[in-house]
Structure 1
Amino acid sequence: MLSVGSILKNEREKKGLLLIDIEKQIKVREKYLKAIEDENWNYFSSKIYITGILKNYSRALNLDNKKVLAFFRRDYEKKEEVRFKRKISSSYLTSETKKFLRIGLIILALFFVFYFIFQLKTYFSPPDFTLLSPTKTNFSIEKKIKITGKTEKDTSITIAGERIYQNKEGIFNYELSLNEGINKITIILLGANGKKTTIEKTFYKKTP
């Protein structure tokens, strides 16, 4: 009766390929490929690793990996007493795979370092402020102007002693009545970290 190991071995030999040729293609060491062909399931840490190798091995031989896996499940279910190793041997990975794994871990570590630094900077920095409008400071006929700004969502905003509330995007509005001459306004932003930003703006009105 055909088994998953014999199917792979026969197809490999029919194509004139050695196990080392398959190793180079799918980046799995030759001894693990041989264990697959010999159906030595105890050589692996879990069923997941076996199915992963089977998929790649069957693709390398242009076999239908679904059929190959079906043979494996049939054979595997007959051997309920199979016990896997508890840990994955480091030799399971080829040197090239280990290299990519190390690079991936380094990139991941750098990501967390930069994220941590960013969070620290955010925590210890006073809230940012962007004046969206008005874009000019000189007016002539306007009685009122609408001041629109943007800051962090959790920032407390006070303008001329009045508490102002921003929307979900951190945008807030304030109407300023213009008097003839110089009009000064103070915007105080208090961040969740207790840091404060004070902005002073001056607008001029000169009636023609």
Structure 2
Amino acid sequence: MFQASSILKNAREDRELSLKEVSEKLKIPEKYLKAIEEADFKNYPKQPYCSLFVKEYADLFGLNSKNILSFFRRDSYQPQTKTNVSKNQNPKFFITPQKVFSFSAIFVVIFLSLYLVVQYLSFNRPPKLSVNWPDKESIRSNQTIITGQTDPEATVRINDDLIITDDMGNFSKKVDLTDNQDKITITSTSHSGKSNTKEMIY
């Protein structure tokens, strides 16, 4: 494989010129010419000077500077790739104000999203309803007391009669019974219109 460094060095030696002589002709520091010939990437001059020096070096010997520059860029790219790989193998994580702000913003968005989901589900679910049904055998009269608990914000109806609940959602009502089978229906309705119904026949 052709290498720009070898081509330039061979061209100079074929003409029996020293690096010092070439340096004087091109007005390029000898240390840079030596680095180019030895492919000493660490001591190359910064771009775009490095490419300009290679072009002038090639033009001095009548070489195709376009091809030489292509070889040079290819040769120079390889160690850079290795360096990048080496750096990527040991990534370092630094905490910056921007990262702290980004993480905080993400956390707030996630928290608000979860809160809204919980509130939505809570608003759209039927209210809880727990009823303490009296045992049929314990009823000795034509009346019985029905007690229970629901969500504090819910509206309770027993056989279509509106029942007042306390701050904890507890309710109680005396219900009249007949000699026939009586069906007692208790319905709890939330603000969103969702309802929960329980029934018992005495």
Return the index of the structure with the highest Cα Rg. 2
Q: Same fold (TM over 0.5)?
A: no
TM tier relative to shorter chain: 0.3 to 0.5
- From the two aligned structures, give the one with the greater helix fraction: 2
Instruction: Using structure 1 for the length normalisation, give the TM-score.
Output: 0.42
> Structure with the greater relative contact order (CA < 8 A, sep ≥ 6): 1 or 2?
1
